[in-house]
């Protein structure tokens, strides 16, 4: 496992990562205006939650400087970090695999934002987060937010039927959220299994890194 054991480098890098993600978020959010429309998208919600988390990590990292420059920088609650990072991965993957080709939503801002939404959480996780053992039941907890999001997406279309997302006849971000589609009968169950499996793999990978790190951690910088 490669981890940077320098609190100053971690702090400066995290500030830059937060600034970069905030910039891409703001540009994409403005492109998706009005605000109610932007807030309907999974990537906007996931990115905002992760930015808040990363903001607090910057604060914790700064406070941790009292322990000196050398050492692994302080971070947030590891299971929460994995969940938020996973949501960013999923929303970014859904854009490149579904929204971009199917909805034909392709702009420079959207590509930059969704690329950053994948790369920035990944870098922060691999380079700066303290790796520790995470219980696998968090993989089951991970489905709570996606289920709430699906319910929100369905009821949003019912409560505000005139608020289309892409074109005047498109009320759902994904077709499989539409109760009138045949895919709606089976896609929620497959999605639940896929989300649990994805987070289980993330936790497994994290725990393998933690196990390897207990044996030997390269002292970079």
The pLDDT tens digits of the residues spanning 138-188 come to 999 999 998 888 888 778 777 776 666 666 666 777 777 777 777 776 777
Name the percent of the chain lying above pLDDT 90: 53
Q: What is the structure's pLDDT at 87?
A: 96
Q: What is the structure's pLDDT at 185?
A: 67
41: domain range? 3-216
Q: Which residues contact 100 (CB under 8 A, 6 or more apart)?
A: 106, 110
Q: What is the structure's pLDDT at 118?
A: 97
- As a whole number, the mean pLDDT across the chain is 86
Residue 208: inside a domain? yes
SS (H, E, C) the chain: CCEECEHHHHHHHHHHHHHHHHHHHHHHHHHCCCHHHHCCCHHHHHHHHHHHHHHHHHHHHHHHHHHCCECCCCCCCHHHHHHHHHHHHHHHHHHHHHHHHHCCCCCHHHHHHHHHHHHHHHHHHHHHCCCCCCCCCHHHHCCHHHHHHHHHHHHHHHHCCCCCCCCCCCCCCCHHHCCCCHHHHCHHHHHHHHHHHHHHHHHHHHHHHHHHHHHCCCEEC
Residue 10: inside a domain? yes
Q: Which residues contact 31 (CB under 8 A, 6 or more apart)?
A: 107, 109, 110
Residue 36 has pLDDT above 80, yes or no: no
**206 and 136 Cβ atoms separated by less than 8 Å:** no
Residue 128: inside a domain? yes
d(CA 163, CA 90) in angstroms, rounded, equals: 25
pLDDT (average), residues 3-32? 94
Helix axis angle for 108-128 and 78-94, nearest 10°, is: 150
Residue 221: inside a domain? no
Half-sphere exposure of 8 (CA within 13 A, CB side): 4
Alpha carbon 118 to chain centroid distance?
A: 7
The pLDDT tens digits of the residues spanning 204-219 come to 999 998 887 555 444 4
Query: In total, how many domains does the chain have?
Result: 1
Q: What is the structure's pLDDT at 8?
A: 96
Of 7-16, 21-30, 149-158, the one with minimum mean pLDDT is 149-158
pLDDT (average), residues 116-144? 92
Q: What is the structure's pLDDT at 217?
A: 44
Q: What is the structure's pLDDT at 94?
A: 87
The token pair at 24 is: 């891409």
Question: Is the model's pTM score more than 0.85?
Answer: yes
Residue 33 has pLDDT above 80, yes or no: no
The pLDDT tens digits of the residues spanning 179-209 come to 777 777 677 778 888 899 999 999 999 999 8
């Amino acid at each position: 496992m490669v981890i940077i054991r320098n609190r100053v480098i971690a702090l400066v890098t995290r500030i830059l990562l937060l600034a970069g993600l905030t910039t891409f978020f703001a540009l994409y959010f403005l492109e998706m205006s009005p605000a109610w429309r932007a807030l309907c998208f999974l990537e906007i919600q996931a990115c905002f939650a992760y930015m808040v988390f990363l903001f607090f990590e910057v604060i914790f990292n700064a406070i941790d400087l009292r322990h000196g420059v050398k050492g692994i920088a302080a971070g947030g609650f590891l299971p929460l970090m994995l969940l938020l990072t996973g949501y960013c991965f999923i929303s970014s993957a859904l854009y490149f695999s579904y929204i971009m080709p199917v909805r034909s939503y392709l702009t420079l801002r959207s590509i930059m934002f969704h690329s950053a939404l994948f790369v920035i959480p990944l870098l922060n996780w691999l380079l700066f987060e303290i790796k520790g053992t995470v219980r696998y039941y968090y993989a089951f907890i991970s489905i709570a937010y996606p289920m709430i999001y699906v319910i929100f997406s369905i009821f949003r279309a019912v409560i505000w039927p005139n608020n289309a997302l892409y074109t005047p006849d498109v009320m759902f971000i994904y077709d499989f959220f539409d109760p009138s589609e045949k895919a709606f009968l089976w896609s929620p169950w497959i999605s639940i299994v896929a989300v649990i499996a994805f987070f289980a793999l993330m936790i497994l990978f994290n725990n393998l890194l933690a196990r390897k790190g207990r044996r030997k951690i390269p002292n970079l910088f």
